[in-house]
Every structure is written in structure tokens, then in C-alpha cells.
Amino acid sequence: MVKTPAVTTAAPAPAATAQARWGPRRGADRPADDVDGADDMDGAVRCVRCAMVPGCVRRTGATSVQMDGMRKNVAMAVFTDSRRHRVAVLVRDGFPSLELGIVHQLFGQARKGASPDGEPLYEIVTCAPRAGTVRTDGDFTVNVAHGPEAPAEADTVIVLSAYEDYEQTEPELPAPLAGVLERIRPGARTASICTGAFLLASVGLLDGRTATTHWRHADRFARLFPHVGLDADVLYTDNGDVLTSAGCASGIDLCLHMIRRDFGTAVANDVARRTVVPPHREGGQVQYIRRPVPGTSSPSTAAARGWALERLEEPLTLRQLAEREAMSVRTFNRRFRDEVGTTPMTWLTRQRVERARELLEESDLPVEQVAARSGLGTATNLRQHFHAVLGTSPSAYRSAFRGPGRGTAGSGS
């Protein structure tokens, strides 16, 4: 059953428009300086690799057969460091460059010991159904060195969205694309950003699971994949070995969540600080659906939130928070939901769980003291809220994140 408020279905772009924007350059459209053999693997797209690949055909006069050999040599070594968690990012023509940047930037910033000088914890590569030139959603292309061999070796495979997802009207994928996803090795973790969820659903990875996608495409997703439990309100979903995220920028939330799951709160928070993004956003994408927004002159609840974060161990009440902003409880509650996307007390509980996570990672305090210092009161309350939010126990979490180690794909509990 789809839980979503007033979503709209995006109208598919006309085929002619899509071809004009994304189609390969042929014949008279090819630049005058283009030469035979400078095309991609299908002989259709102009070579843009001259500045990127030593020995490109335009410089050496290599034949297309030799060029294919170069690509095969590059593709032989996908990952180079077995000590790191291996991430493969799957792109297709028309993918949003922002999504690719999010994955590389966030995972690339994760360091051992949450230190800028620590060793990288992830190795990230970009791959495509076929190695070569891939068009972005902008006015530039990306040279992708790796093909379907990368997902077969990765610990985590992240599928980005693409313009063609907006036009998908059947649940099946083209055979070459489905073949790439089928090569994901058993035990690997798979994730999607935005409409990349359409691909995961098309090959059955989301059957019987909870998933999300961009709210504008939620109705069409629900029609195509009735066996998937769609929740269009949330920013991301986590089924352990399969994760999905909502709109493009929610990829930030998803990546930070995976880093947190793999290597703990300290590492994820360090990545968030250095990239200047929130370590955790409250609420879901429902707050981004068009609706009236409070004016800039309206009172904010930010001061009350800051005040609460400094005294999480105290027994705070909704009335106390409202009084900090000189509002009635009813007005404060409404304003808080407008700004944060959730209720004040739900937000407060989440902050206390986050504080407990930090204490479990960074101290040797017994569970009872962790509960008291985080404001959750008793060890019983801590276990209850910890399991509700994170799906695991405080002791299991501490065992997993009290020391350095490689993140285990698919370990979400």
C-alpha cells in the first residue's frame, strides 16, 4: 500500500526530444576534426577521451581494435586495495552529475579514526553497462573506464537515476542493463538514488521489501511494481542488503547512513562536518512537496532546538521548548513540524539516541550511565528506543563500532 500525500506523475518527455538531447552524434553532426576509429564502442559517439586517456586514437592513430584492447586492459583491474570497502557506482546516459559527485565526495571523505589524516575506508569506482563515454544530464560527458565487471567485484553497488527512468512504462529492463544487475555478487549490498529504484525493482531486488523513490514518480512506481512496499514519505529505506533513497539530494542522507552503518557515528559525523552537510535530516520528503511555507519573518524553533541539544540529559517537556520561543504549545508544535518535518518529541528522542551512539562508541560507560547521560533514563528505555531507531541493541552496536574495521556489506542489525 502506498503511503504518500498528493504526489504527481511526471509526464514523459517526447521521444524526439529525448533523442535530440541524448542521441549520439552521427554523420553531418560529427565535428570536422573527428576521425575514423575515434568513436565509442558502438561507433556512434564522438571521442572525448583525448585529454583523459594516454595513447588515445586521435593522438596515436590507433585502430578501433587497438582502442578496444586499451579499454580491456583498463577494465582488468577494477579494485586495487582489498582492505577497503569496495563501492561501484552504476551510471547510464542522462545520469545526474550531482548524484555521482555525492557518492564520490562522501565515501571518499571517510577516513579511519574519523581523522583527515586517516587511511581511506572506501575504494570507489564508476561503471556503466559498457565502458566508454557516458552522457550526463548536463552539457558534458564522462569517460567511464569500467563496465559490468565492477558490480561483480563490489561490496556495495549504488545505482544512480537517469532520464530514461522518467519514461519507463513497463516493469522489464533491456537485457543488457538487467544483465549488469544480475552480475552483482551474492552478499553484496545494493542501493539506489532517486529513480534508480526503478532498476532495482525491475530485476526483483525490491519484491516484498520497503522502498522509496522521488515523490513525483511514486504513483508510476506503484503501478509498475505492486509487489514493492512503497513509502514515498521517507528520505531513504534500509532493508539490510538493499537500500533506496528519494530525490537526488537524499543521496546525501543515504550515503551518510551507509557510512554510519559501516564504520560508526564518529566517521559519518566527520564526513558530514567536512562536507558541511547535516549528519542526519529529520522528517521525510513529504516536507518538500509543494505547500504553503512560513514567511521569512515568521518565528523559528531553531533556538529551542539548540537549547535542547545542550541539555539532552534533562527531562525536557514540550511546554519547556515552547516557552523558549514564547509560543503556545500548539503553535510551537505546528511550527516545529513545518521546519523539521517531525514532532518535537520524536526529534528529541532521535537526538538522544544519537547521543547514546556517540557515548557507546567513544566511552566505556556502562549502559545504565549511557542511558542517563543521553536523557533516555533507564537501560530498558535505551534498549527500547535504540532498537526502534537502529534495529539493534546497545551492546551489539558497541561491539560492532568500538574499534577499527572494515564495514560488512549487508550488516544492518
Q: Are 213 and 197 in contact (CB under 8 A)?
A: yes
Residue 318, pLDDT above cutoff 50: yes
Asked whether residue 246 is assigned to any structural domain, the reply reads yes
Residue 116, pLDDT above cutoff 90: no
User: How much of the chain, in percent, has pLDDT values that exceed 90?
Assistant: 51
306 and 369 co-located in one domain: yes
Q: What is the pLDDT of residue 28?
A: 36
Rounded-to-integer distance, Cα 187 and Cα 182, Å: 13
366 and 402 co-located in one domain: yes
Per-residue model confidence as pLDDT tens digits over 123-152: 999 999 999 999 999 999 999 999 999 999
Of the two residues 237 and 283, the one the predictor is more confident about is 237
Per-residue model confidence as pLDDT tens digits over 355-373: 998 899 889 999 999 999 9
Q: What is the pLDDT of residue 284?
A: 56
Strand partners, 156: 87, 189
264 and 313 co-located in one domain: no
207 and 336 co-located in one domain: no
Q: What is the arithmetic mean of pLDDT over 211-221?
A: 92
Q: What is the pLDDT of residue 176?
A: 82
> Virtual CA dihedral for 338, 340, 341, 346, nearest 10 degrees?
-120
List the grid coordinates of 219: 504513483
302 and 259 co-located in one domain: no
Rounded-to-integer distance, Cα 3 and Cα 282, Å: 18
101 and 219 co-located in one domain: yes
Q: What is the pLDDT of residue 115?
A: 87
Cβ burial of 216 (10 Å; 0-12, 13-18, 19+) is middle
Asked whether residue 243 is assigned to any structural domain, the reply reads yes
Q: For 174-188, 200-214, 290-304, which range has the lowest pLDDT when averaged over its residues? A: 290-304
Asked whether residue 46 is assigned to any structural domain, the reply reads yes
**At 392, is the pLDDT very low, low, confident or very high (cuts 50, 70, 90)?**
confident
142: three-class secondary structure by DSSP: strand
Residue 404, pLDDT above cutoff 50: no
Count CB neighbours of 15 within 10 A.
9
**At 91, is the pLDDT very low, low, confident or very high (cuts 50, 70, 90)?**
very high
Asked whether residue 150 is assigned to any structural domain, the reply reads yes
Contact partners, residue 377, CB within 8 Å, separation at least 6: 371
Q: What is the arithmetic mean of pLDDT over 8-33?
A: 35
Which CATH number characterizes residue 354's domain? Answer: 1.10.10.60
102 and 239 co-located in one domain: yes
129 and 55 co-located in one domain: no
Asked whether residue 285 is assigned to any structural domain, the reply reads no
For residue 62, the enclosing domain spans: 33-76
Q: What is the pLDDT of residue 401?
A: 73
Asked whether residue 121 is assigned to any structural domain, the reply reads yes
Which of 260, 275, 290 marks a domain boundary? 275
Average pLDDT, the chain: 78
198 and 141 co-located in one domain: yes
- What pTM does this model have? 0.62
164 and 270 co-located in one domain: yes
DSSP letter for each residue of 122-141: EEEEEE-SSSEEEEBSSS-E
Q: What is the arithmetic mean of pLDDT over 23-49?
A: 36
Of the two residues 82 and 228, the one the predictor is more confident about is 228
Of the two residues 99 and 32, the one the predictor is more confident about is 99
136 and 266 co-located in one domain: yes
Asked whether residue 313 is assigned to any structural domain, the reply reads yes
Which CATH number characterizes residue 203's domain? Answer: 3.40.50.880
Count CB neighbours of 232 within 10 A.
25
Which of 76, 111, 131 marks a domain boundary? 76
Number of domains in the chain: 3
Which of 44, 76, 108 marks a domain boundary? 76
Q: What is the arithmetic mean of pLDDT over 202-226?
A: 93
Q: How far is CA 163 from the centre of its chain?
A: 18
The full length of the chain comes to 413
Q: What is the pLDDT of residue 59?
A: 35
Question: Residue 281: how many CA atoms within 13 Å on its side-chain side?
Answer: 24
Rounded-to-integer distance, Cα 74 and Cα 66, Å: 13
Asked whether residue 291 is assigned to any structural domain, the reply reads no
Residue 257, pLDDT above cutoff 50: yes
327 and 353 co-located in one domain: yes
Q: What is the pLDDT of residue 203?
A: 93
Of the two residues 232 and 299, the one the predictor is more confident about is 232
Q: What is the arithmetic mean of pLDDT over 201-207?
A: 95
Per-residue model confidence as pLDDT tens digits over 260-298: 999 988 899 899 989 988 777 765 554 444 433 344 445
